[in-house]
Amino acid sequence: YHFNGSFNNAQSVSSALDELAQSGYRDLVEKDRSLILEAFEKIFDHQSFTGRSGTFFGYEGLGCVYWHMVSKLLLAAQENYAWARQQAAGEATLQALSGHYYDIRNGIGFNKTPAEYGAFPSDPYSHTPGNAGAQQPGMTGQVKEDILSRFGELGLVVDQGRIHFQPNLLRPSEFLPAPGSFSYFDLQGRQQKIELPAGSLAFTYCQVPVIYRQGKGTGLQLIETDGTVREQASSTLSLDDSASIFRRRGKIVRIEVAV
């Protein structure tokens, strides 16, 4: 079940009750109006949605605080999915957690249009009122959580100084249905293009392109600057290879992972 997304506050609920009263439910509305409004406020507790300070700043609003809370919920759901896998939870549990995760994901971020949000950012700062300059850097709040969540979806995990590729939460629909290309900027600032086959996807990490390929088997290939290709059965990089990527040494120019 989902709450009515068009209800912004108790006034929205009251207006809906007024409509019901005109549709033959007048007696029930008069009897239960106060009970319904009280239950609505008790569940949503709107007076507490005032930011970390307990009061609204001049550039804050209920909407931006709510969006950030949903992004935090998304990240928490992903962390619980990862924890469940570590605990060897059953497949039914993992599928349920994955379903809840993407249900939350569909309600925030790029899945919503500017028309649905009611706003669209036009500068790199998250709060820039018309009567003043930038009030808060844009790379805070919701954006931060969404970046963490996206790398989690891709299964890129850093643990004990080593890079792991574990795309267990990644949806099959994200892989290319037909051949395509991927453009990026390398460590020298030059734009590069990689041709991708169907059944693959690509992203960069520390400016090193990572390509996931669907197919049989596991493991990965490390392609180095001189053309050397190193294959390994594990989807976890060594400490040295991980450090090379973190420090942008340029020795490894591409990673291809079988998933």
Q: What is the pLDDT of residues 59-81, one digit of tens each?
A: 555 555 566 778 888 999 999 99
User: Token pair for residue 127?
Assistant: 């709060």
Q: Are 180 and 143 within one domain?
A: no
Q: Of 154, 189, 211, which marks where a domain is finished?
A: 154
239 in a structural domain: yes
Residues 36 and 94 in one domain: no
- Residue 165 inside a domain? The answer is no
Tokens standing for residue 172: 């099959």
Query: Which residue segment(s) compose the domain that 245 sits in?
Result: 172-258
Specify if 5 maps to a domain. no
182-202 mean pLDDT: 96
Residue 231 lies in a domain: yes
Q: Could you tell me if 145 and 176 lie in one domain?
A: no
Looking at the domain assignment, is residue 53 inside a domain?
Answer: no
- End-of-domain residue from the set 154, 189, 206: 154
Supply the pLDDT for residue 140. 59
Within a domain: 166: no
Residue 215 lies in a domain: yes
pLDDT at 225: 95
Average pLDDT over residues 189-218: 95
Q: Do the domain assignments include residue 83?
A: yes
Could you tell me if 198 and 212 are in contact, meaning their C-beta atoms sit under 8 angstroms apart? no
Domain shared by 24 and 96, yes or no: no
Average pLDDT, the chain: 86
Whether residue 149 is found in the same domain as residue 203: no
Query: For the chain, what percent of residues have pLDDT higher than 70?
Result: 81
- Strands (E) across the chain are located at 125-127, 136-137, 156-159, 162-165, 180-185, 191-196, 200-205, 208-213, 220-224, 229-232, 252-258
Domain count, the chain: 3
